[in-house]
Amino acid sequence: MKLLTKTNIYTSVTTIILFSLGVFFVFKVILLKFDSEQDEHLLSAKEIIIKSLKEGKSVEQFSSNIGEKIQIVEIYKQTTTVNSFKEYYQEIIGEEKAGESIILRELSFQCSINDKAYAITVSVSVSKKQEIGEYVVGIVILFLFISIIVLFIVYRFISAYIFSPFYDTLSKIKSWNIKKSESLTFKETEIKEFRLLNDTIQDLTQQIKSDYRNLKEFTENVSHEAQTPLSIISTKIELLMQEKNYSVKQHDSIQQIFQATQRLYKLNQVLILMSRIENKQFISTEKIDLITCFEEKLEELEDFIEAKQITIIKEFNSNVPKDLNPILSNILFNNLFINAIKYNLESGGTLKIILDNDSFSIENTSDRVEINKRFLYERFTKSSTSASLGVGLSLIKKIIDYFNWQIAYSHKDGVHKFKIYL
Amino acid sequence: MRILIIEDEKPLREDIIYYLSENGHKCDFASSVKSGLEKLSENKYSCALVDIGLPDGSGIEIIEYIKDKNPEMGVIIITAANSLEDKLTGLKIGADDYLTKPFHLSELSARIYSVLRRRNFGGKNTLIFDGLEIDTSEKKVLANGIQLQFTKKEYDILIYLASNPTHLITKEALAENIWGDKAEMATTFDFVYSQIKNLKKKLNEAGLTNFIKVVYGLGYKFKN
């Protein structure tokens, strides 16, 4: 749910509640005022009636100009001096409006004039009261609706304006890449919260960037600086190996040191290669024909394919040359093919290469279980049975990313498949 | 052959000198661009090993000097793995070959032999050992005058071994030389072993016994 929708809902609910209360009070006040005016009117009618009675006028004479209806009854004795007001419905008697009723407000009082006691009721129609009430409620409800609709529309327009720095920030963070050198600059905004957000994000990304750079530089420096000592160790061991007359134990130690150094130096080479890819040091490209590339790789790996008696299946349905860096494409195809052979069945497996216009895939049979997709391309994750460095797939992924390609892995019925979308 | 080694890392330089001296080369050394240029102006060398990253400048300067004054001289660049551009520049201005640190001493020796052969130093392209004759320009191998048939890989291995007489050669170095970036596969398959076995068999059949000695667990030795 959008922030604005949520705000709108709350605002609307509050407005409706406030308006309803308002309507209720306004309604009440108007009614009270109306009643008190009617009562004043009735009281003044009372004065006129009393005055008229004192002057000896007959009842019929006032009815037309004072109120709706006057009823004067002679009583034996005045029992009260209290004015009592009462409101009631009365059905209209007559042809036209039969069934409808009117509301009457009635004042009853007693008085003694010239030794005679009277019980008098004066009543007026207050049907207008209902009408006025209905009008008031109607108008208020109308305003309520109009204001809610206006509110929605205004919010919609304002939000596009108010939230524009926010969306600007959002889209910039989305497209932000830690590897790119430019720092984030946001749209100027007067809104304090957004300014705070922008500043915080700016600080945060700066921090992340500098951490990332330090880490990257550290890795680069380590792998770079390690080369010379590794060279020294490597040549020293080679010279030590030239010596004769070692005991079996010494002999084994030297052999193991040598092999460990070899591993270390291959690892170092891969790390250097990776950081060079990250630093975009492979810019030059050549037109590379993938079919020729595949054929060359198969030829180079012939010995191993023969040794494992792997059947090669080729399905080349396209031959569009690609602009690629030759060094990286060589490393990529090398790694893909070596993996497909290395992890193939010990004997009699198959290796299938399919090339289409927009993709190619390499499938190999294997007795290995499916690779965990979560760690597929992470460095140094290797299955316990593998003696290799576990950076092969990570390197493949890095080059694929560099080429702006996509890679997908699937495993089905003992066949591992890497599909690369060009 | 007289070889100049321009490398600022002392232990590495000493090992190279020691190893190449054992192979019969006469080695001089320099540890900076300045002293390298001095040495080059004083003496004549068949080949120079040039490290690109030197304390007082780039080895490229030295290669330019060599190609200007003595274009006949062989040049092999030694670089760190992450300076590809230097390597390319070096090859462009006339270096014969390059090696990335760290490298096998046996590989260095083989490269030097190859450069020297290509540059025709000594006026002959034939390696002669006790009854074994390798004509590198024709790629022919004669055993007591009779030509032997080798596969390309067997021949490459033989040349590699012959470039490092008197030294033990590890199977890793051999694998890297023959299979390049697929060396890891070759070692897992024990391909070096099977190639050597074939090579030995062919030499034995031609009456050249004990030319290749297996040093258990470590590698091989070419008997001279």
Q: Is A116 among the domain residues?
A: yes
CA separation, residue A414 to residues A244, A287, A307, B125 (Å): 49, 35, 21, 53
The reply to whether A265 and A313 lie within a common domain is: no
How confident is the model over A367-414, as pLDDT tens digits?
887 777 766 676 655 544 444 546 778 888 889 988 889 888 888 888
Say if A205 falls within a structural domain. Answer: no
How confident is the model over B12-16, as a mean pLDDT?
91
Whether A258 and A296 map to the same domain: the answer is no
Domains of chain B: 2-118 (3.40.50.2300), 126-222 (1.10.10.10)
Q: Which domain holds residue A233?
A: 210-278
In this structure, is residue A177 part of a structural domain? no
The owner of tokens 């002999």 is A251
- pLDDT tens per residue, range A43-71: 888 888 888 878 777 666 655 555 567 78
Nearest to B182 among A234, A327, A338 (CB): A338
- Whether residue A293 is found in the same domain as residue A397: yes
Same domain, A154 and A7: yes
Of A250, A246, A235, A326, the closest CA to residue A289 belongs to A326
Dist CA A190 CA A166 (whole Å) = 11
**Is the Cβ pair A231, B191 closer than 8 Å?**
no
The beta-carbon neighbor of B168 closest among A220, A232, A241 is A241
Is the residue at A228 inside a domain? yes
* Alpha-helix residue ranges (DSSP H) falling in chain B: 10-22, 33-42, 59-69, 84-92, 105-118, 152-163, 171-179, 183-189, 191-205
| HSE-up of residue B113 (Cα within 13 Å, Cβ side) | 23
Residue B50: its pLDDT value, please?
A: 92
Q: How far is Cα of residue B80 from the mean position of the Cα atoms in its chain?
A: 18
Contact A107, A43 (CB under 8 A): yes
Q: Which long-range contacts (CB under 8 A, 24 or more apart) does B190-199 make?
A: B191/A303, B191/A307, B192/B157, B195/B153, B195/B154, B195/B157, B196/B157, B196/B220, B198/B151, B198/B154, B199/B150, B199/B154, B199/B157, B199/B158
Is A230 within 8 Å of B80 when comparing Cβ atoms? no
Q: What is the pLDDT of residues A249-274, one digit of tens each?
A: 888 898 889 888 888 888 888 888 88
Same domain as A339, residue A263: no
Residue B35 confidence (pLDDT):
92
Domain assignment present for residue A11? The answer is yes
Residues of A in Cβ contact (< 8 Å) with B179: 303
Residues B93/B70, Cβ–Cβ less than 8 Å: no
Interface test with B, best of A262, A264, A280, A330 (most B CBs within 10 A): A262
Measured between beta carbons, which residues in chain A are less than 8 angstroms from residue B176? none
The minimal CB distance from B101 to the residues A227, A255, A331 is found for: A227
Q: Which residues of B touch A388 (CB under 8 A)?
A: 184
Interface contact flag, A227 B102, Cβ < 8 Å: yes
What is the DSSP code (8-state) at residue B52?
S
Q: Is residue A313 domain-resident?
A: yes
Q: What average pLDDT does this structure show over A226-237?
A: 87
Q: DSSP per residue over A117-157, as a string?
A: EEEEEEEEE-HHHHHHHHHHHHHHHHHHHHHHHHHHHHHHH
> Tell me, what DSSP letter sits at residue A246?
-
Measured between beta carbons, which residues in chain A are less than 8 angstroms from residue B100? 269
Q: Which of A310, A315, A318, A294 is nearest to A343 (CA)?
A: A310
Q: How far is B36 from chain A (nearest CA, A)?
A: 20
Does A246 share its domain with A303? Answer: no
The per-residue b/e assignment along A309-321, b for 16 or more CB within 10 angstroms, e otherwise, is ebeeeeeeeeeee
- Averaged pLDDT score across all residues of chain B: 84
Residues A240 and A369 in one domain: no
* Cα–Cα dist B121/B96, whole Å: 14
What's the CATH code of the domain at A328?
A: 3.30.565.10
Closest chain B residue by Cα to residue A387: B188
Please give the full DSSP string across B25-36, using - where no structure is assigned.
-EEEEESSHHHH
Tell me: do A37 and A69 sit in the same domain. Answer: yes
The reply to whether residue A255 touches residue B217, judged by beta carbons under 8 angstroms, is: yes
Interface test with B, best of A224, A235, A301, A304 (most B CBs within 10 A): A235
- Residues B19-58: pLDDT tens digits? 999 888 899 999 999 999 999 998 889 899 998 888 888 8
Contacts of A227 in chain B (CB under 8 A): 80-81, 101-102
Cβ-based neighbours of B76, under 8 Å, separated by 6 or more: B47, B48, B49, B50, B95, B96, B97, B98, B99, B108, B111, B112, B115
Contacts of A259 in chain B (CB under 8 A): 172
Look at residue A171 and tell me if it is in a domain.
no
- Look at B101 and A251 and tell me if their CB atoms are within 8 Å: no
Chain B residue with CA closest to A282: the answer is B84
Residues of chain A in contact with residue B173, where contact means CB-CB under 8 angstroms, are 238
Taking the CA of residue B145 and the nearest CA in chain A, the distance in Å comes to 31
Domain count for chain A:
3
**B-chain residues within 8 Å CB-CB of A223?**
82
Q: Please tell me the predicted confidence (pLDDT) of residue B83.
A: 62
Subunit contact A235:B9, Cβ cutoff 8 A: no
Residue A27 clears pLDDT 70, i.e. is over it: yes
Compute the Cα dihedral for A407, A413, A415, A416 and give only its sign. Answer: positive
β-pair partners for B142: B133, B147
A184 in a structural domain: no
The whole model's pTM is what? 0.65
Question: N- to C-terminal Cα distance for chain B?
Answer: 18
Looking at the partner chain, which of B15, B179, B181 has a beta carbon nearest the beta carbon of A236? B15
Asked whether the ipTM of the predicted complex exceeds the cut of 0.90, the reply is no
Nearest to A239 among B15, B102, B184 (CB): B15
Of A239, A262, A304, the CB nearest to B189: A304
Q: Structure tokens of A163?
A: 């939230």
